[in-house]
Chains A and B, each alone.
Chain A
């Protein structure tokens, strides 16, 4: 039961074999038993979780069940929730209580979900290992000496160890897909503009997007169906986005006639040999299922990390200027004057990676450098988008490794920020182009999970869900679970 999919739990609830309260209690017990080892949750209020589950059982007794009725879902500490603290794993937001729910939180509540708690993350989602969290690192359930990936590391670890059957993450440069890959679960970053950003603490507004992290492809579709849709309070939420039949997209069981693009820039020297072998084997499996593998090129791939590390810090330096210690957030003791208050509060409140990115962004946007860095990066970003547009004239979907390496050890990459940045090399371009991307488990490298990434054209999440569902149906990688946490390996 703990490692069941959302769909399985839903069936058991629908048939009366269990109740939302029983389900909630099961996961609360697992959180109590395992969270001290993993540090996946940074806030949990068991009484409040059970109260939501009781309310869901009562609702079910008198009404038709809603789409996520009684299903436990954890959310990253970046989502504003009126219940409990919202701290973005930063000291500058210590004990902050949001006065409203993020739009996606409202949507989950309306769909009948039981919100389990807040999960650990890199501070302000800036990191690829969950090590920049002000609440301490989170650990990978497959090997607790290793990182779970980031920035949505807590959500990934919680799902992988079955402390919750599903979670929400956010993805600015790979923060859903990379931790999903490194912990052996499935994660979807929807098309930019598909899901409202209102009430999601902003990092880089032209890249941020929320999405699900789950045990199966169908589960990602169930959650995305509930959270997607236009929100007039988010100016970047797209009003005329094509609607999809999310669950129907997952019913595919073969890949007959599917053209899969294999970009040469994503299979390169320097990546882990076992990761490469696992992804190559996955593509061979797709071919067996009827797909055609077509070699393609995305020539500006190599520039993606550089573009990202101009644009994301630039947007971050603007977004994070709101932490001025006037309306909310940490304020230093006894400020001498306004400038002292701003600068000392921000020095005390932000961790070193966040400062590094704010300063990088402030430099790139500063007078005399704007054209050479920010404007140039936005131009190269257009070229990266054009690479994808041209590729999708040839193929239906693109398949790549999600991460060039499996989970690394805590502390292994913290000394050199640039090495850490390069671990996002295969996920970043997808954010720059605003495309949907999904990572699903496709094997192991040195006993650590490996992720297969699917990238589709804008608004065509159905194409990647369909391909991923067919692959999942033909393999059993998604049912592997870590034995230390009661799984069967």
Chain B
């Protein structure tokens, strides 16, 4: 199968150089080609796995358990200002 690597890279928000795209294209086609063997297995009426033990999603009380740790949590941010995350301008 031919995969539009540039499109998939765009969906993934990863810039690819032309060189990377040329290398990744055939590799992805190989991997997807390999997994296509799954198409030969009869799965009519078989439920897809959601959780390995079929466990239900648990609920807990909706109460605040965290304290305010803004400074520690933002310590690893690339750019902050007055407690806000700074990114390039989004709206003109």
Q: Which residues of A contact B (CB under 8 A)?
A: 96-97, 99, 191-193, 206, 232, 235-236, 238-239, 300, 303, 305-307, 309-310, 317, 321, 324-331, 335-344, 346-347, 350, 352, 355-356, 358-360, 362-364, 366, 372-373, 375-383, 385, 417-418, 421, 432-434, 458
Cβ contact of B15, chosen from A310, A329, A343, cutoff 8 A = A343
Extra contacts besides A347-B16, A378-B48, A418-B31 (6): CB < 8 Å: A99-B76, A300-B41, A303-B37, A303-B41, A355-B16, A363-B28
Establish whether residues B14 and A346, one from each chain, have CB atoms under 8 Å apart when the complex forms: yes
Asked whether, in the complex, the Cβ of B8 is within 8 Å of the Cβ of A325, the reply is: no
Give the complex CA separation of A22 and B73 in angstroms. Answer: 36
A88 to chain B, nearest CB (A): 13
Q: Give complex CA distance A96, B64 in Å.
A: 26
Whether B43 pairs with A376 at a CB distance below 8 angstroms is yes
Kindly supply a per-residue 1/0 record for chain B positions 14-32, scoring 1 wherever the CB is within 8 Å of any chain A CB and 0 otherwise.
1111001000100110111
Contact B48 A310 (CB under 8 A): no
* Majority-rule SS of B interface residues: loop
For A237, give the chain B residue with the smallest CB separation.
B58
CB–CB A238/B55 < 8 A = yes
> Given that A309-B34, A375-B48, A379-B46 are contacting pairs, would A329 and B78 also be in contact in the complex, using a CB cutoff of 8 Å?
yes
A303–B50 CA distance with the chains assembled, in angstroms: 18
Task: Kindly provide the distance from the CB of B3 to the nearest chain A CB, expressed in whole angstroms.
Answer: 6
Tell me whether B8 and A362 are in contact (CB under 8 A): yes
Is A380 a contact of B13 with CB atoms below 8 Å? no
Give CA–CA (A96, B75) in the complex, Å. Answer: 9
Hey, which chain A residues are within 8 Å of B43, CB to CB?
376, 379-380, 383
CA distance in complex: A347, B48 (Å): 33
Are B47 and A336 closer than 8 Å at their CB atoms? no
Docked complex Cα distance between A417 and B89 (Å): 39
- In this assembly, does B39 line the interface, its C-beta being within 8 Å of a C-beta of chain A? yes
Contact A343 B79 (CB under 8 A): no
By a CB distance below 8 angstroms, the chain B residues around A337 are 88-89
Q: Are A382 and B49 in contact (CB under 8 A)?
A: yes
Q: Per a CB cutoff under 8 Å, which of B49, B53, B60 touches A238?
A: B53
- Known contacts A99-B73, A326-B85: A379-B14 contact under CB 8 Å: no
Check if B76 sits within 8 Å of A96, measured CB to CB.
yes
Which A residue sits closest to B76, measured CB to CB?
A328
CA A344 – CA B55 in complex, angstroms? 39
8 Å CB contact of B58 from A239, A326, A327: A239
Question: Which residues in A have their C-beta under 8 angstroms from that of B41?
Answer: 300, 303, 380, 383
Q: Give the contacting residue for A336; candidates B20, B30, B88; CB below 8 A.
A: B88
Task: Report the bound CA distance from A114 to B22 in whole Å.
Answer: 48
Question: Which of B9, B15, B52, B58 has most A Cβ within 10 Å?
Answer: B52
CB contacts (< 8 Å) of A239 on chain B: these are: 58
Q: Which of A309, A335, A346, A363 contacts B13 (CB 8 A)?
A: A346
Interface residues of B (CB under 8 A from A): 3, 5, 8-17, 20, 24, 27-28, 30-32, 34-35, 37-39, 41, 43, 46-53, 55, 57-58, 60, 69, 72-79, 85, 87-90
- Interchain CB contact (< 8 A) of A362 among B11, B20, B47: B11
Taken together as a complex, chains A and B put the C-alpha atoms of A97 and B15 apart, in Å, by 26
Cα distance A307–B40 in the bound complex, in angstroms: 13
CB-nearest residue of chain A to B16: A347
* Given known A347-B14, A359-B8, A377-B38, contact A341–B87 (CB-CB < 8 A): yes
- Which A residue sits closest to B60, measured CB to CB? A232
The answer to whether A206 and B75 have CB atoms under 8 Å apart is no
> Chain B residues with Cβ under 8 A from A99's Cβ?
69, 72-73, 75-76
Chain A residue numbers with a CB within 8 Å of B74 are 327
Alpha-carbon separation in the docked complex, A433 to B54 (Å): 11
Distance of A330 Cα from B77 Cα, bound (Å): 9
A230 to chain B, nearest CB (A): 9
Query: A347, B38: Cβ atoms under 8 Å?
Result: no
Report yes or no: A382 in contact with B15, Cβ–Cβ below 8 A: no
Decide: A363 and B52 in contact? CB cutoff 8 A: no
Docked-complex contact B28 and A359, CB < 8 angstroms = yes
**Residue among A193, A335, A376 making CB contact with B39, cutoff 8 Å:** A376
Q: Is the CB of A418 within 8 A of B30?
A: yes
Which residue of the partner chain, among A96, A206, A330, A347, contacts B51 with CB atoms under 8 Å?
A206
Q: Are A326 and B38 in contact (CB under 8 A)?
A: no
**Contact between chains at A325 and B78 (CB < 8 Å):** yes
User: Known contacts A206-B52, A338-B90, A341-B87: does B31 contact A360 (CB below 8 Å)?
Assistant: yes
Q: Which residues of chain A come closer than 8 Å to B52, judged between CB atoms?
A: 192-193, 206, 385, 432-434, 458
Tell me the complex Cα distance, A127–B11, Å: 23
- Considering the chains assembled together, what is the distance between the CA atoms of A347 and B27 in angstroms? 17
Q: Which residues of A contact B35 (CB under 8 A)?
A: 306-307, 309-310, 364, 373, 377
Q: Are A380 and B38 in contact (CB under 8 A)?
A: yes
Q: Are A338 and B87 in contact (CB under 8 A)?
A: yes
A232 to chain B, nearest CB (A): 5
Please, which residue of chain A has its CB at the minimum distance from the CB of B46? A379
- On whether the beta carbons of A306 and B37 are closer than 8 Å, the reply is yes
Q: How far is the CB of B18 from chain A (nearest CB, A)?
A: 13
